[in-house]
Amino acid sequence: MSSLPALEVIKQEGTSNFDIYTFTLPVKRSTMVKSNYVHYLTFVLMGMLISFVVYIISSTIETGLQLANISSIYASTLFMVIVAGAFVYPLLYLLGHEKSDGIIIGSAFVGIATLIGVQGVINYFSNAVAKANFNISLFVASAFVIAAFLIYSCSYCLSRFIFTKKDY
């Protein structure tokens, strides 16, 4: 939920015509795209940090909670939110800010669907990892994080290409 205000930035920029005004500034279009991506990532990481602190506090109060498999849970959540953002930005740059609400909702469903697909792939490979005496929860967490940032990086390149070619 903490990432939603970062997604509203493009909508507000389009409504106020700030995005057109920024073209008069000595700022490259690729820098504008990069700032949106960094802003989104910052909000996502802040939300993850806040939820982790709440989990730690609740686990100290309630002794029945375990911290053992929390890394894979947080990694899969991070994956889903990062993938949703990776689909939002190229579509917003391509289709415009007028359709932002539908794009954000659709991208959330795409993030969930992608999470389910990647979980199937990771489960397939985790059997081989288990036979190799490797920590499965560490494998799952690192696979989710690596996949999320690969998708996010590809999305950044696509968004930068779309936004630099776009003519207002």
User: Is the Cα dihedral 48, 101, 114, 164 positive or negative?
Assistant: negative
Query: End-to-end CA distance of the chain, in Å?
Result: 31
Query: What are 52's two structure tokens?
Result: 């982790």
Q: Which residue has the tokens 């990481």?
A: 45
Backbone angles phi, psi at 6, to 5 degrees: -70, -30
Q: What is the pLDDT of residues 142-155, one digit of tens each?
A: 888 899 999 999 99
Per-residue pLDDT at 68 exceeds 60: no
Q: What is the pLDDT of residues 80-108, one digit of tens each?
A: 899 988 998 898 888 877 887 888 888 88
Residue 73 has a CB neighbour count (10 Å cut-off) of 14
Spatial contact of 122 and 143, defined as CB atoms under 8 Å apart: yes
Confidence of residue 14 (pLDDT cuts 50, 70, 90): confident
3-state secondary structure of 28: coil
Of 71, 97, 76, 82, nearest in space to 168 by CA: 97
Distance CA 124, CA 101 (A): 35
Q: Residue 95: what pLDDT?
A: 85
Spatial contact of 113 and 47, defined as CB atoms under 8 Å apart: no
Instruction: Give me the half-sphere count of Cα atoms (radius 13 Å) on the Cβ side of residue 93.
Output: 25
Distance CA 90, CA 87 (A): 6
- Please tell me which of 17-21, 94-98, 116-120, 129-133 the model is most confident about, judged by mean pLDDT: 116-120
Per-residue pLDDT at 168 exceeds 70: no
